[in-house]
Amino acid sequence: MASIGKLWKHSNVRFKVGFFGVFFFLFLGFVVYLIPHDDPTLFDMWNTYAPPSSEHLLGTTAVGQDIFWLLINSIRNSIIIGVIVATIGTTVGVLIGLTAGYLGGKVDRVLSTITDTFLVIPSLPVLILFTSLISGGATLLVMAIAIALFAWAAPARQMRSMTLSMKEREFIHTARFSGESTFKIITTEILPYSLTWTLSNFMNAVLVAIAMEVTLAILGLSPAMLMSLGNMMRTAQNYNAVLLGHWYWIGAPVVASVCFFVSLFMLITGYNDYLSVKRGR
């Protein structure tokens, strides 16, 4: 708790604004979501294109779906996808980077070759092909795993560089000569020093994952029944919401995406600035 209080006290305005922004979206997606409400995927053809009201805060769609609750569910699912991708990508990347950097030799060459291969492969075309092949049976988890296929390579490369630098320091040599196992050295001596970087990378991975899901959804490659910010935009586009002037429908997911991206970006950059000041840079 003391470290959290110190972070808040010494962080800049950008970090605090980003924190409140991200917290607001988490509140919408995981607290407001719990309020009892009708299934927003159900059609109500007697109540199409309804204007905003006390019953429908943002109006309804062309098939009578409540836009507000569609947005709440979409925010929740998009965040879940981002967290799953970030968790898989960061965990795998850190483990591979630590192993390659510390063990070196043939292990490093093999793992580095695999990592570099995934780094140079253009992810979007492969994801388009992959999601188009599984689109019929894709679920939220499947979409997250598909995006996570390319989320681990960059953190693995960065973690390897950090480990190569760390393993030459005196306290690592001392631990090795004292008889500590490789596993213990990696987990207790090197890994703790990378936790702040890992947190920053995790937040960035969430941002990239949600942006990738939005891109795939707009291209029509996200499961049609999956409520997400990208799918809300695609559905509104398919029903010509812009031409019909139904701005709440198309505007809600666009504004929510932009605000969430900006908030998360401010949180990441503000946290990185805090780390730079803490290190005396």
At position 65, the amino acid (one-letter code) is: Q
**b/e map 68-90, b = 16+ CB within 10 Å:** bbbbbbbbbbbbbbbbbbbbbbb
| pLDDT number for residue 180 | 79
Name, in order, each residue with C-beta under 8 angstroms of 91's C-beta and a sequence gap of 6 or more: none
| pLDDT number for residue 232 | 92
pLDDT tens-digit readout, 247-257: 899 999 999 99
| pLDDT number for residue 227 | 85
Which burial class, exposed, middle or buried, applies to 238 when counting CB atoms under 10 A from its CB (0-12, 13-18, 19+)? exposed
pLDDT tens-digit readout, 26-84: 999 999 999 998 888 888 888 888 889 988 899 999 989 999 999 999 999 999 999 99
| pTM for this predicted structure | 0.88
Q: Which of 52-56, 61-65, 149-153, 225-229 has the lowest mean pLDDT?
A: 225-229
The rounded distance, in Å, linking the Cα atoms of 100 and 164 is 9
| pLDDT number for residue 278 | 67
Q: What is the mean pLDDT of the chain?
A: 87
For 13-31+56-278, CATH number out of 3.30.530.20, 1.10.3720.10, 3.30.9.10, 1.20.1050.40 equals 1.10.3720.10
| pLDDT number for residue 279 | 62
Higher pLDDT, 239 or 129: 239
The rounded distance, in Å, linking the Cα atoms of 35 and 169 is 53
Which has the closest alpha carbon to 185: 195, 196, 174? 174
Higher pLDDT, 45 or 96: 96
The alpha helices in the chain, defined as continuous H runs, are 2-10, 13-30, 67-103, 105-120, 123-134, 140-148, 153-166, 170-177, 182-184, 195-218, 229-238, 247-278
Name, in order, each residue with C-beta under 8 angstroms of 46's C-beta and a sequence gap of 6 or more: 64
Domain boundaries, the chain: 13-31+56-278
User: Percent of the chain, pLDDT > 70?
Assistant: 95
| Average pLDDT value for residue range 146-151 | 88
Q: Which of 120-129, 141-150, 218-227, 234-243 has the lowest mean pLDDT?
A: 218-227
User: Percent of the chain, pLDDT > 90?
Assistant: 41
pLDDT tens-digit readout, 156-177: 999 999 888 888 888 787 878 8
Higher pLDDT, 163 or 2: 163
Residue 223 contacts residue 135 (beta carbons within 8 Å): yes
| pLDDT number for residue 240 | 87
| pLDDT number for residue 73 | 95
Residue 134 contacts residue 102 (beta carbons within 8 Å): no
Sign (positive or negative) of CA dihedral 203, 204, 206, 207: positive
| pLDDT number for residue 280 | 56
Q: 66: helix, coil or strand?
A: strand
| pLDDT number for residue 271 | 85
Confidence bin at 2 (pLDDT 50/70/90): very low
Name, in order, each residue with C-beta under 8 angstroms of 181's C-beta and a sequence gap of 6 or more: none
Joined tokens for residue 159: 């973690």
